[in-house]
């Protein structure tokens, strides 16, 4: 990561010319930024119109007609007056964006499963086979492609057999997170696992949404036999095995055809405290024979925490030492990265370094974004380390835990361990992260934030009959059009952000984003992280002209804006039709915002 907070690898798909790095701005402290915040922001918000989440998935040509109260967005700024420029090079395709980088993650922790997902078949809360209907409906809107389950650290204490069979006969166990839940005042249903929600209920959720399941196997405390028996239970054809008959007796006669299997979780820590070499031996043993039943299996190895280069190096070195052909058995290498340390170098203490989810100033705003931006250099660094042993890059990166992690106390539901309330800041953070993945389609094949509901960087919050979509959930809706599109090279030139970081001048990238093409439909997503300044931006498409389109914006006059059960629409995407008056498009990108341009090309 560069000193200015931008990742070293940013140039791989988004280039910054000298105009960005050398741009001179007024260096002001926190109070100066905050003084300008409320005046310049309300004008854009006041002119915006509310749009339902379903509208975000509409095609550009149909988007405007789907909004009854929409207004045309037409900028009066001339190209010569623009301070930023975006060039989209349609003939430079970086690769196809895997839909699975927009994946999700569920774990038996706090209120994620019980109350978040599972409400029970007999609940008065609208449900589909016991699963919260609101959750299913929202996940279908954003075209959720894959969900990882059951953990997380919980996975390496979990016996899959406990969660199948007649519900009233399933054993009750102590949850992995019992010690933490006990101190947080969590209810007994969070601390002691009833196993009422298990493999079959998870498959029911995936089928209702229309997404792929991704199961994480227990390597720390179960033998390899338990792993391939789980595969057998899920995938063996109807009537073919005893486990297939057991599955049919209480759940499904037809196999689940699970493709994605995680072999342990965080095996360097809660998943067994292995060394990289020890884990490589375990991975070889667990995957040396697993029945396929005509379904090709994709094994995901437990990768590094953040910048643990030695873990990546040690694992791959041990794998190829035995047999380089074993690389063919590894689909993905799971990188975990949380942005938690907002102390600006004062401490590395896990608790003391964290900031607050709701109470923060502009310096904390930039700090968490700087931390999040490090992910790009981590992707490139681990990719390079993997290439030392896997020159053909058969193994792809899987970033299946990411997001900000704040100190406890902001959750809407008391007792929900690790629940935090996402704000506009987390929406900007998440959009920046998704843009990073979009810019590296050759490297990242699957990803998921932690976690889907009632946890850290959640898309949804739920309790009893209450439910709301967070700003992060709205970002996933705004970015869903990228799924399966061809990422194209995008050159962004913008003034860098100048601010004081503990009294010292510091800079941060002034505009970031990504673009993808599907036929004649171009999707451009942008983040303006500046807390108070808009960007007058010219958009140039090389190789085509813009015929029509729409702009979708997520922003608010308050940096701390968030949705709650009582105020579900405090921050929602605003949609406008675009009026294109010339060969290029010039528009204003508001401060502290996430923007999606859905453009139809001629």
For the annotated catalytic residues, the residue numbers are 266, 401
Computed from CA positions of residues 100, 296, 382, 334, in that sequence, does the dihedral angle turn out positive or negative? positive
CB atoms within 10 A of CB 336: 21
Residues with Cβ < 8 Å from 153, sequence gap 6 or more?
107, 176, 177, 265, 266, 269, 270, 271
C-beta of residue 162 within 8 angstroms of C-beta of residue 171:
yes
Secondary structure, 3-state, 324-344: HHHHHHCCEEEEEEEECCCCC
Instruction: Report helix, strand or coil for 144.
Output: coil
The CA distances from residue 347 to 236, 341, 353, 370, in Å, are 51, 8, 6, 16
For the chain, report the end-to-end CA distance as a whole number of angstroms. Answer: 39
Selection from 124, 303, 138, 154 nearest residue 216 by Cα: 154
Q: Is the bond leading into 348 cis (omega within 30 degrees of zero)?
A: no
Please state whether the peptide bond connecting residue 150 to the residue before it is cis, i.e. omega within 30 degrees of 0: yes
Q: Following DSSP, what letter does each residue of 340-382 receive, concatenated?
A: ---STTS---TTTT---SSS--HHHHHHHHHHHHHHHHHHHHH
User: Rounded CA gap, 563 and 222, in Å?
Assistant: 41
């Amino acid at each position: 990561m560069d000193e200015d907070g931008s990742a070293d690898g940013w140039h791989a798909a988004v280039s910054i010319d000298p105009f960005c790095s050398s741009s001179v701005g007024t260096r002001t402290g926190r109070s100066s930024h905050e003084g300008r915040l409320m005046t310049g922001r309300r004008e854009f918000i006041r002119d915006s119109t509310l749009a339902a989440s379903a509208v975000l998935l509409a095609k550009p040509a149909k988007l405007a007609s789907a909004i009854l109260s929409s207004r045309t967005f037409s900028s009066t700024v001339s190209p010569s007056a623009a301070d930023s420029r975006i060039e989209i090079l349609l003939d430079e395709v970086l690769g196809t964006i895997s839909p699975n980088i927009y994946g999700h993650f569920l774990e038996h922790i706090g209120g994620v499963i019980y109350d978040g997902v599972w409400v029970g078949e007999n609940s008065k809360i609208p449900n589909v086979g016991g699963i919260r209907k609101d959750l299913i409906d929202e996940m279908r809107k954003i075209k959720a492609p894959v969900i990882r389950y059951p953990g997380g650290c919980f996975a390496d204490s979990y016996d899959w057999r406990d969660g199948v069979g007649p519900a009233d006969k399933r054993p009750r166990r102590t949850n992995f997170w019992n010690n933490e839940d006990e101190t947080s005042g969590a209810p007994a249903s969070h601390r002691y696992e009833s196993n009422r929600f298990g493999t079959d209920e998870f498959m029911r959720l995936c089928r209702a949404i229309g997404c792929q399941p991704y199961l994480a196997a227990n390597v720390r405390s179960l033998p390899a036999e338990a792993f391939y028996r789980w595969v057998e239970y899920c995938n063996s054809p109807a009537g073919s095995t005893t486990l297939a008959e057991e599955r049919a007796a209480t759940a499904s006669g037809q196999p689940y055809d699970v493709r994605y299997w995680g072999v342990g979780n965080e095996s360097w820590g809660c998943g067994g405290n292995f060394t990289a070499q020890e884990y490589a031996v375990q991975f070889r043993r667990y995957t040396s024979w697993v029945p396929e039943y005509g379904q090709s299996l994709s094994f995901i190895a437990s990768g590094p925490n953040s910048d643990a280069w030695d873990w990546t190096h040690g694992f791959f070195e041990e794998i190829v030492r035995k047999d380089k052909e074993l690389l063919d058995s590894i689909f993905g290498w799971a990188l975990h990265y949380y942005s938690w340390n907002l102390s600006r170098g004062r401490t590395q203490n896990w608790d003391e370094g964290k900031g607050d989810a709701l109470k923060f100033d502009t310096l904390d705003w930039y700090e968490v974004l700087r931390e999040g931006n490090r992910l790009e250099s981590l992707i490139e660094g681990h990719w390079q380390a993997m290439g030392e042993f896997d020159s053909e890059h058969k193994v792809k990166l899987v970033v299946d835990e990411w997001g900000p992690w704040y100190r406890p106390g902001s959750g809407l539901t008391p007792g929900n361990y690790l629940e935090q309330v996402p704000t506009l800041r987390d929406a900007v953070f998440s959009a920046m992260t998704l843009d990073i993945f979009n810019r590296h389609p050759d490297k990242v094949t699957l990803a998921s934030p932690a976690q889907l509901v009632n946890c850290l960087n959640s898309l949804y919050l739920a309790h009893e009959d209450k439910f709301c979509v967070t700003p992060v959930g709205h970002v996933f809706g705004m970015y869903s059009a990228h799924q399966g599109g061809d990422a194209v090279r995008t050159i962004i030139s913008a003034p860098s952000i100048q601010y004081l970081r503990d009294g010292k001048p510091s800079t941060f990238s002034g505009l970031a984003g990504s673009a993808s093409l599907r036929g004649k439909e171009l999707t451009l997503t942008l983040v303006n992280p500046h807390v108070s300044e808009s960007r007058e931006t010219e958009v140039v498409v090389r190789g085509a002209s813009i015929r029509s389109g729409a702009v979708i914006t997520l922003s608010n006059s308050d940096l701390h804006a968030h949705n709650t059960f009582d105020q579900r629409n405090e921050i929602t995407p605003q949609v406008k039709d675009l009026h294109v008056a010339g060969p290029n498009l010039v528009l204003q990108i508001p401060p502290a915002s996430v923007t999606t341009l859905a453009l139809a090309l001629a």
